[in-house]
Structure 1
Amino acid sequence: EVGIATGSPYGRWRAGSCGRPNDRTHEVKVVDELDREVAPGEAGELVVRPRRPFSMTTGYYGFPAATAR
């Protein structure tokens, strides 16, 4: 769970798009199977990293064994 990493301005939504990255809060890239950034329009995997440290979960609350896995 990362919050709102991408979005489109109201009324400017386009089918097939997940919007533009929210550069103020997240670093967003599309990468290939070797984690290399791909060119615009190429297929890949969306990867997201928050710009603020420790803003994502650091473990499962109340389940230390699951966190350790």
Structure 2
Amino acid sequence: PKRLRKVDAAVRKLTDLRKNCVLLWFCAPLRADGRSYTTRQFARMCRINKGKFKAELRKAINSLEKLI
């Protein structure tokens, strides 16, 4: 689904696969004023609920851990 692709893209933005190590920036993109979004706000931007968002994020983290 399109929404999950958005989450996927967002998670990909948060991850940095340099030198075989994964850095996960959990606080997502910063707002214009430099503060970070909360999980709830970020999930709302992707139009999915927080639980689903966290589950997707956990899945993404797990699959990244397998790459290491």
Same fold (TM over 0.5): no
> Structure with the greater relative contact order (CA < 8 A, sep ≥ 6): 1 or 2?
2
TM-score of the superposed pair, with normalisation by structure 2: 0.27
Q: If the length of structure 1 is used for normalisation, what is the TM-score?
A: 0.27
